[in-house]
Structure 1
Amino acid sequence: MAEDLRGKLGAQHLPLRDQVLAALRTAIIDGDYLPGERLTEDRLAEDFGVSRNPVREALRVAEAEGFVVILPRRGAVVASPSSEALADMFAVRQRLESLAARLAAERATAADVAALRALLDQGHAATEQQDLRRVAELNSVLHLRILEISGNPWLSSIAKALYLHVQWVFRLGAAERAPHSWAEHIQLVDAIESGDGERAERAALAHLDAASAAAYENAEGGYRPR
C-alpha cells in the first residue's frame, strides 16, 4: 500500500492534509488498516511519504468522522464500528433507501435499469473472484445509483458521507456477507424494474434487515476482514 501511495500525495491540487485524509480514509475503508490497529504519526508519515504535520491534522478530522479514535497516552487507533453507531447508520439507511427504492421504481428508465443490471453483473463477478475490496465499492455504487435514479437530489446530496461508512462496514464483513447481499440486490433491482413502488420499498427494507443483522453479528464477533 505504501508503495502505491508514496509519490502520489503532494502532486494533487488539494491541501496536503486533505490528500492524506483521503488516503487514510481509503486505507481504513479497504481494510489495509484494521479496527483496533495503532496508527502512529511516524508510521503514517512513512506510509504516505509526507511529514508528520499533515498526518496529525488528518487524524483529527478522521476522528471527527468516526474512522479513528485518539486515546490518551496511546495515540490513534482505527475505530471499531459500535452497536450504537451501526444502529444510527441503519436507522438513516432505512428511511433513505426505502424512499429511494420507491421513487426509483416509479421513475426508472430502461437505461437506468440496464445500468443497475451492469452493476449487478460486476458485483457478481467480483464476489466470484473474492475481490472483497471491489465488492464493497460496488455495493455503495449500486445504492448511490438508486438514490440518483430516484430523482430526488436531496437524497443523493445527504448520502455521500454516509456511504463511506456503509462501504467500510460492508468491507469488514464482506467475506461472509457478499454472496447474500448480491442475491438481495437482484431482488431489489427486479422490484425497481417492475415499476411497483411498494414492492421496491419492501425489497429495500428486507435487504437492510439482512444487512443490519450481519453487521451486528460481525461487530459482536470482532472485525477480522479477509
Structure 2
Amino acid sequence: MGARRIDRPVPLRERVYQAMQELIISRQLAPGQHLVESELAEMLGVSRQPIREALQLLNTAGWVDLQPGYGAFVHAPAPEEVDQLLAVRAVLESESARLASTLVDTEGVDRLRKLCAEGEAALDEDNTEGMVAANAELHRTVTELSGNKVLMDFVAQIDSRVQWYFTPIAHVRGHESWREHAELVDAIERGDTEGAGRIMREHTERTRRAYQKQVEEGPEEEPQPQVRSRRRRTAR
C-alpha cells in the first residue's frame, strides 16, 4: 500500500514571485522601472527577505534585471526579443488552429464563442485586464482543442510573455482582433483546416506588426503607478 503524498504549502518566495509577475505582465510595474525592496515589501505585506528571493527568481526567468551597484529593474525587452517570440508563437498557434479544426468539438466551440463575447465586452468597457485575460484564454483553448499535448506544453511556456507583450497593444488591436477571433472560430467549427491555420497565422502576424509599429513610434506611455495603494497581505 503506497503512502499518500502530503501536499506542501507554496513557499512564500514563490507566492511573491507570482504576485510580482502579475504586476509586470499588467504593466503596473513598467519595463525599466526600478524595483525598491522596501516599497515592494510594504506593497505586498511581507518582509524584505522573500522580496529579495523572488527578485532572484524573476531575474533567472528573465522578468527582472539585477544590476550590481544599481539594484533591480523590470526587464525591458529588446524589439528583436519580442519579434522572435511572437514569430514562434505564430508557428505554434497556427498549427494548433489547424489541428483543432480536424477535431471539431461543439462544447469547445461554444467556449470559444463565449470568450469572444467576453473580450468584446471588456473592450467596450475599456477593461484592458479583461481583454488580455480573454485573449489569452481563447488562444489557450484553441491549443487545448488541438489535442496535441506537446503543442500545449510549448505554448504554455510562452503564454505569460505573450500576455505581457499584448497588454500595451490590446486597445490598438481592438475590435479588429476580436473579429479575427470570430472568423477563426467559424473556420474551426466548419472543419476548415486550411482556413483555420491561415486565419490564426495572419492574426498573430498582425499582432506582431502592431507591436513593432508601437516600438517604432516611440516608447509606450508609462502607466500610472497603482501599486503603492494595492496592498496585498500575504502570510509571513
* TM value normalised by structure 2: 0.86
Give deviations 1:25-62, integer Å, cap 9, x for gaps: 00111121111211111111111111111111111221
Is the 2:101–2:187 contact (alpha carbons within 8 Å) kept by the matching residues of 1? yes
| 2:146 aligned residue (150, 158, 172) | 150
* Identical residues among aligned pairs (%): 38
Task: Specify the alignment match of 2:221 in structure 1.
Answer: 224
The whole-number CA distance in structure 2 between the counterparts of 1:63 and 1:172 is: 22
Q: Determine helix, strand or coil for the equivalent of 2:119.
A: helix
Question: 2:177 is aligned with what amino acid?
Answer: S
Distance in structure 2 (CA, Å) of the matches to 1:109 and 1:35? 40
Task: Say whether 1:134 aligns with 2:133.
Answer: no
- Greater length-normalized contact order (CA 8 Å, ≥ 6 residues apart): 2
Indicate the structure with greater helix content: 1
Q: In the alignment, residue 140 of structure 2 is paired with which amino acid?
A: L
Corresponding position: 1:40 with 2:36? yes
Is the contact between residue 174 and residue 225 of structure 1 (CA under 8 Å) also seen in structure 2?
no
1:76 and 1:149 map into 2 onto residues whose CA distance is: 40
The answer for the alignment partner of 1:49 in structure 2 is 45
Q: What is the identity, as a one-letter code, of the residue corresponding to 1:157?
A: D
SS in structure 2 opposite 1:133? helix
Query: 2 CA distance for matches of 1:185 and 1:64?
Result: 34
Letter in 1 for 2:46: V
Q: Tell me, which stretches of 5 or more residues in structure 2 are unaligned? A: 1-7, 224-236
The 8 Å contact of residues 91 and 201 in structure 2, kept in 1 or not, is answered as no
Q: Distance in 2 between matches of 1:178 and 1:13?
A: 40
**Structure 1 position 169 matched with structure 2 position 169:** no
Name the counterpart of 2:74. Answer: 78
Q: Is the 8 A contact 2:86 2:162 kept in 1?
A: no
- SS of the equivalent of 1:159 reads helix
Give the conservation status (yes or no) of the 8 Å contact 2:89–2:155. Answer: no
For 1:93 and 1:145, the matched residues in 2 are separated by 15
Give TM-score scaled by structure 1 length. 0.90
Q: CA deviation at 1:141?
A: 0.5
| Secondary structure at 2:66 match in 1 | strand
Pair 1:89-2:85 in alignment: yes
- Root mean square deviation, CA, Å: 1.6
The aligned counterpart of 2:195 is: 199
Q: 1:179 — aligned with what?
A: 175
- Stretches of structure 1 that go unaligned for 5 or more consecutive residues are 1-11
Give the C-alpha shift of residue 211 in structure 1.
0.4
Opposite residue 84 of structure 2, the aligned amino acid is D
Equivalent in the alignment of 1:67:
63
Tell me: CA distance 1:115–1:49, structure 2 relative to 1, closer, same or farther (3 Å): same
Aligned residue pairs, count: 215
